[in-house]
Amino acid sequence: MASASERRKVVRAACPHDCPDTCAMLVTVEDGRAVDVRGDPEHPFTRGGLCVKVNNYEQRVYSPERLLYPLKRSGPKGSGQFERIGWHEAMDTIRRRWTEIIDQFGATAILPYSYLGTEGILNGLNVGDAFFNKLGATISERTFCDSGSCTAYFMTIGPSPGMDPESFKHSKYIILWACNTISTNLHHWPFIAEAKNKGAKLVVIDPFKTRTAREADWHIPIRPGADAALALGLMNVIIGEDLVDHDYVQNYTTGFDELKERVSAYPPEMVAKITGIPAQDIRTLAREYATIQPSVIRIGVAIERHANGGQTVRAAACLPALVGAWRRVGGGMLQLPIWAFPVKWENLMRPDWIKPGTRVLNQWRLGPALTGEEPLDPPIKSLFVYNSNPAIVVPEQEKIIQGLKREDIFTVVSEQFLTDTARYADIVLPATTQLEQFDLMFSWGHLYLSLNQPAIAPLGESVSNTELFRRLARTMGFDERQWQRSDEEMAVDALDWANPALQGITMDLLKEKGWARLNVGTPETYAPHANGNFLTPSGKCEFKASMAAGGNFVLPLFRQGSNEFQAGEPVDPLPTYVLPNESLATNARLAAKYPLNIISPKSHAFLNSSYGNLPGQLHHAGEQFVLVNPKDALARNVGEGSPVRIFNDRGSFEAIAKVSSDVMPGVVVAPLGYWRSLSRTGATVNALNPSAFADLGRAPTFSDTLVEVAIAESAIAAE
């Protein structure tokens, strides 16, 4: 008989989600079944906490809705009718269909589509790249998240981790800019709260009074997309009132004189008109930010989501150098500390296998690409989706659904659940959850490397993504070493173990402890740019960006190693403000028809669209809703709880109105993540969003969307 310790064990794991926190988890397993998932109290950043999504992760794992076997479609696309098949038949069908397509149209007729359903280094962003590069498929340019911000940040500061998130406890002035920390980066909050308790001032800049904004000393509502104007206005005051750290600027920056001239065009009175923030508040914010040191700016991902998103990050990234905030621990800027992790991305992606001239398709264009609206030669004949749910997270939702319905597109989806995308698949392949797989985890919100060890055996016939691509490679006759390695061998190959950041960290240590802090100094000492050392071409913080001369670009990480600058897309080398694509000033006719600006931030209870089908999180989130300011509600006869239709020329969806002055007039808020199949009219917020690119890094423009709100017809009919 097995002893009690054999029957019951605690396994060290790490949260798989695309979230900055990458929590250390402890999984209790009894008789091969995970009975409890909790945070590891010893982890210095996540400190034993999880969140409303992952507290009961075992319910996700054992959900009766989990996909456990390969399926083939047995009804019309989208009907959700499938029948169980074996892996052999699934792989055989894929091989047959792909071979036909490749013979007739060439391999670029196959479009892989993925993002960060799991964030693991092995099973995450790049897990399929080597396979699809070998196959010669179209390259998916994945600019889902922070791509514009990264381009801008690289141009200004370079691939620096920036400030240690834990050093926020030493900050005296904290600006959370388009970032809802308490919902989207919860484990960072205690460090901010500690600073606040020691007297630091917390400022939140957001059109909407979020959970985080409620806790701030000062919430500054701003019109969506106006942030660059604010940053330029702050610099106007800082330079005009001589609050500049001249010594820092002289030694560690480039382009001050040009910046000075540029910002002279943004006096507070003018910026007030653009942003909706009173001129006096702009002056106060500039003075406090410049003089209360160390000050820090934390930018959220949402800051990039409009026509001017990249230049907004450029402008914000100039501020800390201008006032010398980088000099002290607790000062500077936090974007993504991911750049501290020495991952050998090329080893995962194998860009060396990309055939010259292979077509690249940006992921925001999925709808037009599938419907044929975007002329493609060859057209897309097969779609292979893993780690993503494009039917919900990608704009122009109606076009995506139309495209997914096409009988002539062979669609395969690897998933844990029958998502709104998977419903349209010809073949569905079951994927493991984090408790059933091995992975190594970076973080984009702290400086700890984690190891996720499998706690239980895969459920049903589900397989990890690494195993999925081993099987596909075998099916297609690829026999390179790439697919003959075990997960652990892959992990060894995935990191640059000789890099100083990994000094003292070994696989054995990770196995024993679960995680290790990168060797980059401590939160008490880490001040990466106290003496400049920026990672730009000049080694300085480039107010005037030398990289702008090459044009717009997307980081190699998001487009698999080919980092050509995009000729013909000139970039202003100085931070600048340009009008949103959709606004009164840019298109008065559009604004007359659709006067409200919709924003679609993250839901507190979902993780993008993950958990949007699970009862606990659905209960927490409530029915799909839209927040409307009382003035806008009154003008439309909309009351609290009214069913409303939110619409523009691209589409519409229905939701329950919540009337609240938490949102500024002229703006409505509809959180991301609700499922179409569980919504009132089979549509969610991305039915309204455009697939237009922002100015840098081909980032999305979710916050640059005009709509109108009206009482839903169903509600009128019921009266």
Ligand X SMILES: Nc1nc2c(c(=O)[nH]1)N[C@H]1C(S)=C(S)[C@@H](COP(=O)(O)OP(=O)(O)OC[C@H]3O[C@@H](n4cnc5c(=O)[nH]c(N)nc54)[C@H](O)[C@@H]3O)O[C@H]1N2
236 vs 421, beta carbon nearer Mo ion:
421
138 vs 147, beta carbon nearer ligand X:
147
Contact 577, 266 (CB under 8 A): yes
With CB under 5 to 8 Å by kind, the binding choice for 452 among Mo ion, ligand X, none is: none
For residue 582, the minimal CB distance to Mo ion (Å) is 22
With CB under 5 to 8 Å by kind, the binding choice for 158 among ligand X, Mo ion, none is: none
Instruction: Identify the residue whose tokens are 């995308």.
Output: 421
Q: How far apart are CA 88 and CA 75, in angstroms?
A: 21
Closest CA to 471 of 427, 513, 522: 427
Token representation of residue 660:
């609240």
Q: How far apart are CA 125 and CA 115, in angstroms?
A: 6
145 vs 182, beta carbon nearer Mo ion:
145
126 vs 648, beta carbon nearer Mo ion:
126
148 vs 268, beta carbon nearer Mo ion:
148
For position 205 contacting ligand X by CB under 6 A, the verdict is yes
For residue 301, the minimal CB distance to Mo ion (Å) is 5
Residue 5 CB neighbour total at 10 angstroms:
7
Among 599, 655, 659, 668, the residue binding ligand X under the rule CB under 6 A is 599
Token representation of residue 671:
């959180």
For residue 156, the minimal CB distance to ligand X (Å) is 18
Give the interface segment with Mo ion, choosing from 141-149, 216-224, 364-372, 657-665 (CB under 5 A). Answer: 141-149
Site residues (CB under 6 A) for ligand X, limited to 684-703: 685-686, 689, 702-703
For position 388 contacting ligand X by CB under 6 A, the verdict is yes
Q: Give me the DSSP letters along 487-544.
A: HHHHHHHHB-TTSGGGTT--HHHHHHHSEEE-SS--TTT--TTTT----STTSSEESS
For residue 2, the minimal CB distance to ligand X (Å) is 30
Can you tell me whether residue 663 is helix, strand or coil?
strand
Q: How far is CA 672 from CA 235, 285, 392, 610, in A?
A: 33, 31, 8, 10
For position 600 contacting ligand X by CB under 6 A, the verdict is yes
Instruction: Identify the residue whose tokens are 């979230």.
Output: 19
145 vs 699, beta carbon nearer Mo ion:
145
For position 207 contacting ligand X by CB under 6 A, the verdict is yes
50 vs 354, beta carbon nearer ligand X:
50
For position 306 contacting ligand X by CB under 6 A, the verdict is yes
For residue 300, the minimal CB distance to ligand X (Å) is 3
For position 416 contacting ligand X by CB under 6 A, the verdict is yes
For residue 375, the minimal CB distance to ligand X (Å) is 25
Give the interface segment with ligand X, choosing from 172-180, 231-239, 267-275, 480-488 (CB under 6 A). Answer: 172-180
**H/E element, 239:** helix 227-240
Check residue 33 and give left, alpha or beta (phi > 0: left; psi -120 to 50: alpha).
beta
Give the interface segment with ligand X, choosing from 271-279, 387-395, 539-547, 624-632 (CB under 6 A). Answer: 387-395
With CB under 5 to 8 Å by kind, the binding choice for 685 among Mo ion, ligand X, none is: ligand X
- One-letter amino acid identity for 608? N
255 vs 300, beta carbon nearer ligand X:
300
For residue 116, the minimal CB distance to Mo ion (Å) is 7
Closest CA to 231 of 252, 256, 195, 205: 205
- One-letter amino acid identity for 594? Y
Can you tell me whether residue 626 is helix, strand or coil?
strand
Q: How far is CA 158 from CA 219, 336, 567, in A?
A: 30, 12, 21
For position 609 contacting ligand X by CB under 6 A, the verdict is yes
Q: How far apart are CA 248 and CA 290, in angstroms?
A: 13
For position 495 contacting Mo ion by CB under 5 A, the verdict is no
For position 225 contacting ligand X by CB under 6 A, the verdict is yes
For position 333 contacting Mo ion by CB under 5 A, the verdict is no
Contact 386, 421 (CB under 8 A): no
For residue 514, the minimal CB distance to ligand X (Å) is 19
Residues forming beta bridges with residue 602, ordered by sequence position:
none
For residue 432, the minimal CB distance to Mo ion (Å) is 22
For position 672 contacting Mo ion by CB under 5 A, the verdict is no
- Supply the DSSP symbol for 460: T
For position 396 contacting ligand X by CB under 6 A, the verdict is no
**H/E element, 465:** helix 465-475
Q: How far apart are CA 154 and CA 281, in angstroms?
A: 30
With CB under 5 to 8 Å by kind, the binding choice for 333 among Mo ion, ligand X, none is: none
145 vs 668, beta carbon nearer Mo ion:
145
With CB under 5 to 8 Å by kind, the binding choice for 306 among ligand X, Mo ion, none is: ligand X
For residue 462, the minimal CB distance to ligand X (Å) is 9
What is the number of the residue whose Cβ is closest to Mo ion?
Answer: 145
Among 37, 110, 111, 145, the residue binding Mo ion under the rule CB under 5 A is 145
* Number of residues near ligand X (by CB under 6 A): 61
Q: How far apart are CA 93 and CA 412, in angstroms?
A: 10
Token representation of residue 447:
């400086």
* Number of residues near Mo ion (by CB under 5 A): 1
For residue 179, the minimal CB distance to ligand X (Å) is 4
With CB under 5 to 8 Å by kind, the binding choice for 388 among Mo ion, ligand X, none is: ligand X
What is the number of the residue whose Cβ is closest to ligand X?
Answer: 117
Q: Which alpha helices (H) appear in 51-106, and where do they start and end?
A: 57-61, 87-105
Token representation of residue 367:
């709808």
Radius of gyration over every alpha carbon of the chain, rounded to an integer in angstroms = 25
Closest CA to 388 of 668, 125, 86, 577: 125
294 vs 601, beta carbon nearer ligand X:
601
Total residues found in the chain within this entry: 719
Site residues (CB under 6 A) for ligand X, limited to 98-127: 115-118, 123
Residues forming beta bridges with residue 463, ordered by sequence position:
431
For residue 544, the minimal CB distance to Mo ion (Å) is 30
Among 249, 302, 596, 644, the residue binding ligand X under the rule CB under 6 A is 302
Closest CA to 526 of 334, 323, 318: 334
**Pairing between β-strand 173-177 and β-strand 82-84 as defined by DSSP bridges:** unpaired
Q: How far apart are CA 675 and CA 687, in angstroms?
A: 12
Q: How far apart are CA 218 and CA 632, in angstroms?
A: 24
For position 299 contacting Mo ion by CB under 5 A, the verdict is no
- Supply the DSSP symbol for 438: -
For residue 600, the minimal CB distance to ligand X (Å) is 4
For residue 534, the minimal CB distance to ligand X (Å) is 24
Chain residues in the site for ligand X (CB under 6 A): 18-19, 115-118, 123, 144-145, 177-180, 183-184, 205-208, 210, 222, 224-225, 227, 300-303, 305-306, 386-389, 392-393, 414-417, 419, 431, 465, 599-604, 606-610, 672-673, 685-686, 689, 702-703
Chain residues in the site for Mo ion (CB under 5 A): 145
